[in-house]
Every structure is written in C-alpha cells, then in structure tokens.
Chain A
Amino acid sequence: MSHHIVRFEKVEYEYPDGTKALKGIDFTITHGESVGIVGANGSGKTTLLMHLNGYILPTRGIINIGDLILNKQTRQEIRKKVGLVFQDPDDQLFMPTVYEDVAFGPLNMGFDSKTVDEKVKKALEIVNCYDLKDKPPHHLSGGQKRAVAIATVIAMEPDILAMDEPSSNLDPKSRRALINLLKSFTHTKIIASHDLDMILDVCDRCIVIKDGIVAADGPSSKILSDEQLLEENNLELPLRLQKF
C-alpha cells in the first residue's frame, strides 16, 4: 500500500511578508503510520500542516501525497485524501447545525442525500455524538465541538488525518476520550501538538521541527525520552517519563 504515502522533499515556504517558515523539510510517512510533529511555538508546525491539503503551496521543493505531486491542479484531489482538523473548532464548524456541518464535505463531493445521511450517521457515531446532530455548534461544549470537528473530517473518509493541537483546551476526561478515539483510527495520522503525553500514546513516530527544518525524526519512545533534544526545542519530557 504505497499510495497513501506522504513525502516532503526539501520543502521550503516563505510567507508573503518574507518570513521563512519552512527551510527545507524532508520526510516520508508511509501508509498507516501515526506521526507526531512537535516543536517550539513558531517552529513551523502549523505551516507544515497547511501544506498537507494544499491550502498553501511550497515555495520550493516537492510534496507528494498519495502518488500525486501537490500543485494547483491536484489540490482538489488531495483534499479528498487528507482530512485536516483545525486547532480552533469554531473555525471548522461553520454551518448552523452539527448535522449540516458534517454533511458539508460529503455533499460537496457530490453524494446523493441518502448516502450523505449514512456517512453523517456513521461519522457522528464513531465520535459518539449522534445525539447532537440537530444542535447548533455554539450550544456544544469544547469537548463536543472537538469531537464533531473530527467527525466532519472523517465523514469524507480521508486516507490521511492531519490534526493541529487536537487535545488543546480539553478537560482530562475529554482528552482521554480523544486519545482513545485517535488510537482506534487506522488512517495515517499526522498530529502536531505540544501535548507530548498524547503523542507518546497515539504516535509511534515523532518528528521534531526546529526553525523550519527537521531536527530529529525517529520512534516516539526514543525522541520523547531524549531530555537534551527536547530542551533545545522548548519542550520537556512527557510528564509520564519525568522522575520526581
């Protein structure tokens, strides 16, 4: 199954104001892998994620997603393969009811209303939110919003799930529920976060980004126990690995 591969080759990105966010990123993620992307604030994690579904295109370098080279022509196709969950669920949930929000993607993909119904039901049941389907997003709690935001993406049945800080602003129980949910997915997962305990739980592999380049890439257990490397990147050992 090589077709769900994500490969970045010397990817550079410069914002219109001249800020260089990515300065040559190289990595390959194969099918079914779950990868944590960590790094200090402003290291380029979010910029990297925005490349994954072609919202921004690299200034230099090549991004290969599922055997498609990312460019203006292929980005619609790539958006169907990569589901991106935003950090702020309020940005992600823009329709008046939960149901309509989850149905937004499938409807855009041109499915008939019966198929859409099924897809929405399935997606909401996976995140245990089917009861909320008629609620407006502003009546949901933070945890529910997050779960629904994930449902909106999995309703499109992407091959690759990319998430920006999925566990931020969640209470411990919602966070645990989210971790269990993420573990149950068989998609390729790319998760950018500062919650290193969650990364340790969910991801087998971890990529450290520093000033727009890959500073380290390896098994999570090894990278996240390297105290010196973490300190250099404004991070610290996951709580679970700290000695008191």
Chain B
Amino acid sequence: MKFDNEFFSLGYIDRLSYKETFIHNIDARVKLAISMMFIVCVVSFPKHVVLSLIPFFLFPVIFLTVGEIPLGFIVKRLVIVIPFVFFIAIFNPIFEKRVAFYIFNIPITYGILSFFSILIRFVLSVSMIILLVATTSFSGICYALRYFRVPEIFITQLLFLYRYIFVLSEEAMRMVRAKDMRSFGNKGTELKFYVKLTGTLLIRSILRAEKIYHAMLSRGFNGIMPYRKKRVFEKRDFLFLIVSMLFLYLFRFFDIIKFVGRIFVRGLS
C-alpha cells in the first residue's frame, strides 16, 4: 500500500496550502518574490561562508511556525533529496585541504567549510520552496508567475499538471489496488506490471486529454487561457514585503553573527 501513502501525502501538501493563517493570507506575488530573493541571497555568498548563512533560517522558521506547517513534513522531504546534495559536496573536503582555522586543535579545512556551506544552502533554499508551496494555493502561485511575466505556456502546463495529477494518481492507485487484490503476495511480476501500468496510464491520459480539449473547445477556448485581474495588494502585503526585504538586506550585507556576538560579549564583561 505504499502507493496509497504517496498519493495521500500529495493531497496533504495541497490541503496544507488551504489553511488560513497570516502567512497563507499574504499575497502570493509577495511570497514568491520574497522566496526568490531569499534564494538569490543565500546562493550568492562566497563559497566558504557558513556562519553568515545561519541568520537566514529565520525565514523558513517564520513560515513554518506562523504558517502552522508541521516540521516533520518538511524534514521528511529534505531527507529524500539530501543524499544527492551530499554526494555533490562530499568531494570538496577531499580536494581542498588548505586549513582555514583550528577549533580545539582540530584543523578545519576550506573544503569542510564549503561542504557545510553547500548543505546549509541546500536546506535553506529547498525548505523555503517547500514552504512556499505549502503556504500558497497553487492557483495563487500561477497567478503570481503570470504577474511576473512567466510565459503563458508554462503556466498553462502547471495548471493542468496540478489539476490532473490527482485524477491520474487516483487512477493509478485504483489499478495498483486492483492488482494487489488479485496477486496474493506474488511478487515476481512486479516490474512487468508497472511497465504495463505506465503504458495504460499513458494511453488513458491521452484519451482524457482529448476529452478535456473537447470540453475546452465547447466553452470557447481559442488558444489562450483566460484569467481575470482581481487581486489587489493590501497594507499587510506591503508591510511583509518591506520588512522581509529589509531583513534579507541585513542578513546578506552585514555580519549579523559578529554583531550579535559582540553585544553578547559586551554584556558578559
């Protein structure tokens, strides 16, 4: 029943995006813009930087807590992708053996620094994107993309992907269930089955696509997806945008860690 689980977790992220919290209610264009700026800021640091990246965790943490997204949900998704990044970064400590500094006599090389730098950047940007999707309705994201002049054809693709991924996966789920019920634990033919399942799904979706196109034509479709301009910026959207940009600017161009550290040290002495 693994397939069932996957299917329902797909529905889960969708359900999350229909909550009503402060973060959910922020205009999708603002959230998209902030997320993009966030990623650009995170990625644009020099390659050995580790500490300066830490303050950026503020953003995912705020999205997570205010948006009432369960932490486990994000972690699970990160864990799936992390091995890939791990193997991309793993060669840095091997090739770059110049020592940067010592902590308790343990030499820390530039390679190790850049290794962690890559991992942190990855966690930051991927969790930000997952959180963006989990706190914004899909139609909102498409609306925002359109606002930022992403070509119409990509948006149309996205809209249909989102609309029919549920229909298609439900279809696949029913087929897998039907097969499970008649296979009596016989595992030998799994692969063969999935090959055929994929083929059947492809043909079914082509047929469905034809019907959908028919439905679109009967409602006057002429090649361009129509949409209406409706949403307006509210005060809180502006406020959120400006405050977020301010923080991004601070985190990117000032050494917050050093600053906080100095205050801390001064407080101690």
Contact = CB atoms under 8 A, between A and B. Distances in A.
Interface of A: 50, 53, 55, 76, 79-80, 82-84, 86, 88, 90-97, 100, 103-105, 107-109, 113, 116-117, 136-138, 152-153, 156
Chain B interface, DSSP helix/strand/loop, else mixed: helix
Given A91-B215, A94-B215, A108 B228 contact: no
Contact of A108 (B11, B14, B137, B219): B219
Nearest to A104: B219
Nearest to B159: A96
B166 A138 contact: yes
Contact of B211 (A79, A83, A88): A88
Contacts of A107: 226-228
B249 interface: no
Contacts of A97: 139
A152 B229 contact: no
20 contacts: A55-B217, A55-B218, A83-B218, A84-B218, A86-B214, A90-B208, A91-B212, A94-B164, A94-B216, A95-B163, A96-B159, A96-B163, A103-B226, A103-B228, A105-B220, A107-B228, A109-B220, A113-B228, A116-B228, A136-B14
Contacts, number: 85
Contacts of B230: 113
B167 interface: yes
B219 A96 contact: no
A103 to B, nearest CB: 6
Contacts of B193: none
B139 A113 contact: no
Contacts of A136: 14, 137-139, 163
B44 interface: no
Contacts of A82: 218
